Structure 1
Amino acid sequence: MKKNWILSGVAAATLTGASVAQNVSTALAATTATVPAADAQTTKVVAAANAFLATLSTAQKKAVLFAWTDDTQRKNWSNFPLGGPGANRKGVRWGELNAAQRAVLMNLLGTVLSPSGVAMVKGQMLADDLIRATDQGQGPAGAGGPPASGGTSPTAGQATPPAGAPAGGLPAGSRPQVSFGSEYYFVSFVGTPSSSSPWMLQFGGHHLAINATVVGKDVTLSPSLTGGEPIKVAFNGKTYTLVPNVPVEAQAAYALLQTLSAAQKAKAVISTTRADLVLGPGHDGQVLQPEGLPGSAMTAAQRTQFLALIRDRLGILNADDLAAKMTTITQNIDKTYFAWWGPTTSAGAAYHRVTGPTVIIEFAPQSNDGDPANHLHNMYRDPTNEYGAAWTKLK
């Protein structure tokens, strides 16, 4: 079965909203007066971006480049598969790239992200290939079946399915027309890659939106959506983790919860009912009031664990830019809150949130497919620097 050939490959590979949003949009549309000189890391990022652009045809290059002032494209990201509510991604599809172009694109992602960040991206793409093979949910042709035009089969490190593999999926018309699979992940640029002007790299698809704004020596991933489904799969009596970052983060949050005293836990646990994602797509500029237990009410050892939890999430960013980000977060750790919604007896099935002056993290399990720990919608935002707004205002 199709499921078997994909799993075999896995085994082998073992704030009031409106006004704030308007201010952000206005700031982003402005031309930066002074952009700090690029450092060695962003020089690599710019070179890798230009190397990727050089592989594209004229039509592909036209499709992938958007003006820096294009606020619509800047915010054009979603947790839904293509064709889902509000999911109308633009740019160039992974399925429209040849093997050489894909390799150069992954190299570009490897300059923006850490090795674990690249592994996360590949894992999410692989997970979506598994959804495509086992539960396409297709309506009319092209809603999860073979590519409608051009493109190749799913390739997050996977082989082409064997000839005659069953198509699977639900009866036509039983679900809105959506497109699952790694070939429906898109790359785009808002602005032109440059060492002296701001620009943004976007890469995403179902359960993934990497929005990396580059300004001189600095890179931010705010806002970015991660997660995935399925996180783990069982095959031939063994369990394989497709998206390795998620279990690490879940265990780190649960470990911190277990260190809390009864009084601390009474503040941190807001409810035993799981909450859902709050600051997902379409919620730019929305304010979340801090809830839970602040770092100032933690012991030194607990604050160390708290910072480790934050680093586990933000560690998808390259080491150079992560260090700068973690320095700011560490300085504000006393004013940063940890909160929990959901069961407190195990890791992964509860929603947790980190809310600080320069960081908001949401870990949001979804229960609509059975095991909440196997379907995640997670967000990272910096309320002071959405889409790099803090670096792109007129000085």
Structure 2
Amino acid sequence: MPTMKLRFPLLTAALSLATLAPLSPVLAGGAGTPAAKPVTADAQTTKVVTAANAFLNTLSATQKNAVLFAWSDTTQRKNWSNFPLGGPGANRKGVRWGELNAAQRAALMTLLGTVLSPSGVDMVKGQMLADDLIRATDQGQGPAGAGGPPASGGARTTAGPAAPPAAAPAGGPPAGNRPQVSFGSEYYFVSFVGTPSATSPWMLQFGGHHLAINATVVGPNITLSPSLTGGEPIKVSFNTQTYTLVPNVPVEAQAAFALLQSLTPAQRTKAVVSTTRTDLVLGPGQDGKTLQPEGLPGRAMTAAQKTQFLVLIKDRLGILNADDLAAKMSVIQKNLDQTYFAWFGPTTSAGAAYHRVTGPSVIIEFSPQANDGDPANHLHNMYRDPTNEYGAAWTTLK
């Protein structure tokens, strides 16, 4: 698969971060209105609450004031985006990774490790690293912070960073014909909607360019619906070596392609809705939108194909910690016959086509972006549970 080639002096240092050195962010949440039924944290969420409070205790009074929002603050709850800071609608609030000291970052990483799985933590680190590489190589030729194509219509240039003009803000790309946007890990934000609690609902948010983790915690339950993942670049080439920065993406792409290849001609006719790639449907700002199932339902699959279908779903949801993932996968498996697999795009390789999973309690979108050359190297992906957006099934949202 073609990969982006980077040539600049800082790449070696940057790639060292791919070994998962402490370069990562996370999220935290808050208390508020009582849940529909009294609930108490289990062992897993007790760890989460403890880690959240430990992180908050490292913050100054000013930082605490910036990071905590009321549970009833629906504006902040929905304040997430795939764009870099300064892009359309990307006005994140909370505390920036770049404003945290080493001890605070370590505490935030510990919190992240209780909410997410090890692979989820690796995914977050990889996406932050990828954005640092964009910051180092992007020359400001594209339109308003979308991570989109340069104005000329060509691929984003990656020949090496130009020195930013003196007027450019810290972390922002050089000024081209694009409004100033801020790339890099220091522009990822953490916030809490509500206060960490073992009994009352709260939400932990962490996000930046191509990432929006929204973890709602209610007693023993945690949901990541809705959350946006993906990244750019997924892979880079340097000194004849290819490095995978965001490991989850190729795994998910291969799982979807394996399911497609297992289908009979008749099944494939149903699953392949179009040979033209489509774009993300249920991204930022699309809360409450209904998506009709398309493609091949689980009931039309063989036992082996159903197993592969569950592997595909678990590859996406597996960023969640094992305890909460098991509960979620149990519900999805019960509804698998009513869950659909749909493919939009070329059918000859993994990663370049859009695929979608649509079921009673799960919606997954995998959306490659072709505006930077290789679609498989720039992804906008979504996970939603239509029955439990922002934990609505567990609590009363205002």
Q: State the TM-score, normalizing by the size of structure 2.
A: 0.86
Aligned partner of 2:86 among 57, 66, 83: 83
**CA drift at 1:174:** 1.6
Residue 224 of structure 1 corresponds to 227
For 1:1-395, list aligned pairs within 5 A: 3-10=8-15, 13=18, 31-137=34-140, 166-167=163-164, 172-393=175-396
**C-alpha displacement of 1:3:** 3.2
SS of the aligned residue for 1:392 comes to coil
Q: Is the 8 A contact 2:173 2:182 kept in 1?
A: no
Percent identity, please. Answer: 80
Amino acid at match of 1:102: R
Displacement after TM superposition at 1:31 (Å): 3.5
Amino acid at match of 1:383: P
Please list the CA deviations of residues 38-88 of structure 1 after superposition, one character each: whole Å capped at 9, or x if unmatched.
Answer: 100000000000000000000000000000000000000000000000000
Q: Which consecutive residues of structure 2, in runs of 5 or more, have no partner in the other structure?
A: 1-5, 20-30, 148-160, 166-171
Contact 1:136/1:180 (CA < 8 Å) preserved in 2? no
AA aligned to 2:386 is: P
- Native 8 Å contact 2:173 2:183 kept in 1: no
5+ unaligned residues in a row in structure 1: which ranges?
Answer: 15-27, 145-163
Kindly report the root-mean-square deviation, in angstroms, between the aligned alpha carbons of the 2 structures: 2.1
Instruction: Please state how far the C-alpha of 1:10 moved relative to its aligned partner.
Output: 1.2
**Contact 2:71 2:193 (C-alpha < 8 Å) held by counterparts:** yes
Q: What letter is aligned with 2:389?
A: E
Residue 29 of structure 1 and its aligned partner are, at CA, apart by: 8.5
Decide which structure has greater helix share: 1
Letter in 1 for 2:8: K
Distance 1:388 1:375, change over 3 A: same
Structure 1 stretches of 4+ with a deviation exceeding 4 A read 11-14, 164-171
Residue 352 of structure 1 contacts residue 364 of structure 1 at CA under 8 Å; is this kept in 2? yes
Q: Distance in 2 between matches of 1:301 and 1:277?
A: 29
Alpha-carbon separation, structure 1, partners of 2:36 and 2:383: 28
SS in structure 2 at match of 1:230? coil
Once residues 123 and 292 of structure 2 are traced to their aligned partners in structure 1, the CA distance between those partners, rounded to angstroms, is 30
The CA distance in 2 between the partners of 1:222 and 1:278, in whole Å, is 15
Whether the 8 Å contact between 1:274 and 1:351 is mirrored in structure 2 is yes
Structure 1 residue aligned with 2:26: none
C-alpha separation between the residues in 2 aligned to 1:206 and 1:170?
Answer: 14
